[in-house]
Amino acid sequence: MNARLTAKSSIIGFLFVSSNSNSGYGLPPADTSVWLLDLLANISTYFVHLERRFDPFFRPAFDALFRQLLTNLTNSLINLQRKNEGMELAEERIQPDEETHLDEIIADMGNQMRRLWKPGDFQRCGNTKTHGIVRGEFIVRDDLPEHMRRGIFVEPRSYKAWVRFSGPGPYITPDIDDVGFMSISLKLMGVPGPKLLDDEKFTQDMFGVSPPTFVTCDTTSNANLQYWSYRNAQIYHFLNFNQPHILDLIMQSLWIKTQSSPLESQYFSCVPYLLGEGQAMQYSFWSRRKKRTRVPRLPFRPPDNYLRDAMVATLSQEEVEFDVLLQVQTDPHLMPIENNGVFWPTRRSPRIPAAVIRIPKQKFDSSEQLDFPRVLSFNPWHCISEHRPLGNQSRARLRLYKELSTLRQTVNGVKHYEPTGDEVFPS
């Protein structure tokens, strides 16, 4: 199960697979070349889809009573397996074979893009389906503690923002058939100062996903996940006799679910960033909206794009706000930099309100605006040095996101565009 591409083949991996279909629309069956593994993977997918039809009838009560308790318990079991490596606060440490694993990840994800999509319609390999990209404003609070006033948070002010809400990847499926995971990507504009990735001059990109820990703990684990993702059998990354990731699966399962609306969730950075020199943080986005949109037609099949429909209905009637919370690293072992599968405990460091994202009433579902992300490139290294991404998966994202974005836009025949916030689309 751990057969891997060699480093040499990884480097030229984009050459291996040619596109002949758009099988990424929908969920392709497992393709491991072992019929029994394919059968078991497809059966597991069937039961996940079945559970999603009934999830909203019991999940709110389960989450209120048990989710945080079970999250803490799972996190404790994860930490029991970890060795205290004596790291300092905000310290990074290069991992063994980090570049080799990154080559493997890029090769597998690039080949999967070629396998799933036709030229001219290449989609992102992760956070693939766009539920909507909306105008917003990022407003820095005036009551942030002094030690947290660093970078974009140094003073009260506001930034124009484009906010992209998306589903998981690498496929584009009806919303009820995805794994119950959502993501948010922010592109703040008008941010002064040199950027660590200088193909954009005035932007700061921010990211979040609905679970509070990343699906893989490091690049070694991520390379294994991409190996199985290429074969449409991600379950075998977690249920693997050689290197099982069962606790990671449990942690993700506690937070993925049948979603009601991208505007009604919380999103976590999962990976750390600098908050000024010598200080690390994670950030999160929390919707202030208390009302929950009913998922239509359950337990029967809802509309394929019901999450976008929920966004359209809400933003036609009201504005939506998210609180932006910062959590400063105070324990280098229990709040690690190099392991993103560990939940940073709030008892060690509470989340502090730092900013508000205001999304005004708007119409955003024209085909032109929904296509806008095709020319955009989101990368955590579109940032000022005070917020440099930290850890091995963040280091990997620099080249990973850049190379896959270049591949996608080149094959689609579009040019990378740095937005200003003044873009206009048909209503």
Summarised one tens digit per residue, pLDDT across range 10-43 is 333 333 444 445 778 999 999 999 999 999 999 9
* Cβ atoms 140, 155 nearer than 8 A: yes
- Round to whole Å and give the CA distance between 396 and 98: 8
DSSP per position, 57-105: HHHHHHIIIIIHHHHHHHHHHHHHT-----PPTT---PPTTHHHHHHHH
Q: Given 3-state DSSP classes, what are the helix, strand and coil percentages for the chain, each rounded to the nearest 5? A: 35, 15, 50
**Based on C-alpha coordinates, what's the Rg of the chain?**
21
Distance CA 102, CA 220 (A): 8
Question: How many contiguous H segments (helices) and E segments (strands) does the chain have?
Answer: 10, 9
**Single-letter code of the amino acid located at 374:** R
pLDDT in tens, the chain (427 residues): 443 433 333 333 333 444 445 778 999 999 999 999 999 999 999 999 999 999 999 999 999 999 999 999 999 999 999 999 999 999 999 999 999 999 999 999 999 999 999 999 999 999 999 999 999 999 999 999 999 999 999 999 999 999 999 999 999 999 999 999 999 999 999 999 999 999 999 999 999 999 999 999 999 999 999 999 999 999 999 998 888 999 999 999 999 999 999 999 999 999 999 999 999 999 999 999 999 999 999 999 999 999 999 999 999 999 999 999 999 999 999 999 999 999 999 999 999 999 999 999 999 999 999 999 999 999 999 999 999 999 999 999 999 999 999 999 999 999 999 999 999 998 7
Q: Contact, 49 vs 177, CB < 8 A?
A: yes
* Helix ranges, 246-305 (H): 246-253
What span, in angstroms and rounded, lies between the C-alpha atoms of 182 and 424?
26
Q: Which amino acid is at 104?
A: E
Phi, psi of 81 (to 5 degrees): -85, -5
Give residue 18's Cα distance to chain centre: 27
Q: How far is C-alpha 411 from the geometric centre of its chain's CA atoms?
A: 23
> How far is Cα 420 from Cα 55, in angstroms, rounded to an integer?
40
Query: How do beta strands 158-166 and 203-209 pair?
Result: unpaired
Q: Which two tokens stand for residue 152?
A: 């974009």
Q: β-strand 280-287 against 320-328: which pairing, if any?
A: antiparallel
- Evaluate whether 205 touches 379 at the Cβ level (below 8 Å): yes
